[in-house]
Amino acid sequence: MLKCYQVAGFAFRIRADEALLEGMENLRPFEMQDGDRHPRLDRGPLFSIEQVGKWEEPAGAPLFCTQDGPGFPEIAIWDLAEGYVFRMRPLPEAPVAAWLKAQKDFSEAQLFLTGTDPQFGLNNALMLLFAFSTAHQGALEMHSSVVMQAGKGYLFLGRSGTGKSTHSRLWLENIPETELLNDDNPILRLLPDGSIRVYGSPWSGKTPCYKAKDVPVGAVVRLQQAPHNAIRRLNKLEAYASLMASASAFRPFKQLSDGWHRTLEALVATVPCYSLDCLPNAEAAHLCYQTVHD
């Protein structure tokens, strides 16, 4: 089955088993219908991915392997003459769920699913291809929870376990007209006019929140657990370092780094960034809201 999807204004195609695509509820809000028109499809999709039934594992050691620790997926990468190969596991100790082979420009890819966790395999393949394909087009996946309020988006950053989802929930409970846009992997996009928008995506971690919506970015807030509530604005250097730590950018791909850096530089130049020491309470949400709106 062939389906077309659009995320953050970029279209892509998937040819895969019908039952698998029909079961991907997170992709449904982004599916393009027959009558939809998008200029990118007139020039060809951002990328195309096809599920295949056979696979030959690459020889030699990988160029890079993630080491995020227990509870996090593991992705290994090979750099071959004919393209890049990715091996994906839902956990470091788990069986391999998928293999992905992409051309050097990431425009075409083949996906082999072992049957262990096909939805994990397809989702992670799409996230990788999207990140690499858009690196020089002003887009960046962020490890963040983001809410919409009064027509703007507010991104909450921080290490895993810091309380990003909790702080978003506190906004939802205490700040009127707040809506969750994405709880784990929104897309930041630098548009040709220099504006920055944040988009919902099909990838939202443990919270099912898949919305094909977007708003201008109002502020970025890095959270830190503390025995008190206090907030301060970051200077540009601090903001850049803070944002880079939460960007889903693979360091071995040096040729893509310039694109990701340009997006981050534009963000810190135009969007206020803050550091919030906080407790998990309503006072923290009100303090944050009042500050970022001043």
Q: Are residues 281 and 215 in the same domain?
A: yes
Sign of torsion over alpha carbons 103, 257, 262, 268: positive
User: Of 118, 133, 148, which marks where a domain is finished?
Assistant: 133
Q: Are residues 221 and 93 in the same domain?
A: no
Count of domains observed in the chain: 2
Q: What was the pLDDT predicted at 40?
A: 47
Q: Are residues 220 and 176 in the same domain?
A: yes
Structural domain that includes position 260: 140-292
User: Of 133, 167, 183, which marks where a domain is finished?
Assistant: 133
Q: What angle do CA 268, 269, 270 make, to 5 degrees?
A: 95
pLDDT tens profile 222-250? 999 999 999 999 999 999 998 988 887 76
User: Of 104, 133, 162, which marks where a domain is finished?
Assistant: 133
pLDDT tens profile 64-99? 898 887 888 999 999 999 999 999 999 999 999 999
Q: Are residues 129 and 238 in the same domain?
A: no
| Spatial separation of the C-alpha atoms in residues 234 and 151, rounded to whole Å | 23
Q: Are residues 16 and 105 in the same domain?
A: yes
Nearest-Å Rg of the Cα atoms of the chain is 19
Q: Are residues 103 and 169 in the same domain?
A: no
Number of H helices and number of E strands within the chain? 7, 17
Q: What percent of the chain has pLDDT over 90?
A: 79
Q: What was the pLDDT predicted at 133?
A: 93
Q: Are residues 193 and 123 in the same domain?
A: no
> What's this model's pTM, rounded to 2 decimal places?
0.93
Q: What was the pLDDT predicted at 252?
A: 67
